[in-house]
Amino acid sequence: MYTNAIEMVEVSPRDGLQNEKVMVSTADKLALIRRALAAGVRRIEVASFVNPRAVPQMADAEAVCAGLPQRGDVTFIGLVMNARGADRALATGRIDQLGAVSVATDTFAMANQGQTSDGSIEAATRIINMARTAGRLGQVTIAAAFGCPFEGEVADDRVAAMAEALAAAAPVEIALADTIGVANPHHVSRLVGRVREMIAPIPVRVHFHNTRGTGLANVWAAIEAGARTIDASIGGLGGCPFAPGAAGNVATEDVVYMLERAGVDTRLDLSGLFSANHWLAEVMGRQLPGMAARAPAFPKQLQEG
């Protein structure tokens, strides 16, 4: 099974930047997107269409969309929380896929998007239907699927019931997100396996944060459990403004290094990802959390492009 190709979804322009205090210019966001595409990324979260007062870093979502390259071979994703956000994303004419978010607990759902967990299932269902009506794709992420910053442990049964309810809306994919980075490989293996079986043939995507250093182990466990699509962020930037203590996403280049060395094809170019990391570190004015881009090249013929 390790020879199967894995699809990487690049989330740095949205999840990667949304929690950054320093405002990144629209031009730099577009440069980041171009660098990701040059490294082989074919599916990328470019912005979220949320209240700019709540997430100031995403206030230029429309401007980012207006500057996206014309690429028939790339899926541009816009994250939306409600019908208003979906309308905005669709109105740009550049978003191929709407990403909805349902939250596994009421407390986090209230903090993140001002609704109950069940309310977030209804909202996601509406968003998926809006995408379909507009001739676009709709997918949904179950946030805090492995643990909640406010309520603690999240029961597998709750996540499975949500996945079943969301599958009824026929999204193109359902993601399980470890929003605060508390998952472990055993938990991932169990929950991905269960949800995958439950929602088949709808595929499972996974989204991990490396808050406690378990990110890469969780990626591997998810692939072994049958997930074929992995979210990651160049440099390991990332965080959630509404989840206390949330740290970065798994770094794209670290995931790609691990998988390619293990014989799993990601279709991404590691040297292009390394140079994107180094460029982004200069934009952010600091070293980024990702590790592979800071290490000596291995094997030796792999040089920065």
Residues that bind Zn ion (CB under 5 A): 15
**Cα–Cα dist 247/47, whole Å:** 19
Pick between residue 15 and residue 253 the one whose CB is nearest to Zn ion: 15
**Which is closer to Zn ion, CB of 10 or CB of 15?**
15
Nearer to Zn ion, 33 or 275 (CB): 33
Q: How far is the CB of 70 from Zn ion (least distance, A)?
A: 28
Least CB distance to Zn ion at residue 143 (A):
8
Q: How far is the CB of 250 from Zn ion (least distance, A)?
A: 10
Q: Please identify the residue of the shown chain whose CB is closest to the bound Zn ion.
A: 15
**CA–CA separation, 219 and 205 (whole Å):** 10
List beta partners, residue 15: none
**CB 15 → Zn ion: shortest distance, Å?**
4
Rank residues 15 and 173 by Cβ distance to Zn ion and give the closer one: 15
Q: Could you tell me how many helices (H) and strands (E) the chain has, helices first?
A: 10, 8
Residues of the chain by 3-state class (helix, strand, coil), percent to 5: 40, 15, 40
Nearest approach, Cβ of residue 91 and Zn ion (Å): 25
Q: How far is the CB of 199 from Zn ion (least distance, A)?
A: 20
Cβ closest to Zn ion, residue 15 vs residue 254 = 15
CA distance 123 to 126: 5
For residue 222, give both structure tokens: 């998810």
Give pairs for 280-285: CB < 8 Å, separation 24+: 280/12, 280/32, 280/234, 280/235, 280/237, 281/235, 283/24, 283/28, 283/32, 284/20, 284/22, 284/24, 284/235, 284/237, 285/22
Residue among 14 and 275 whose Cβ is closer to Zn ion: 14
What are the C-alpha distances in Å from 259 to residues 2, 56, 217, 299?
Answer: 9, 35, 11, 14
**Maximum CA extent, the chain:** 52
- Residue of 33, 127, 222, 240 marked catalytic: 240
Closest CA to 62 of 31, 88, 44: 88
Amino acid of residue 171 = P
Is residue 148 part of the annotated active site? The answer reads: no
Catalytic positions, please?
A: 240
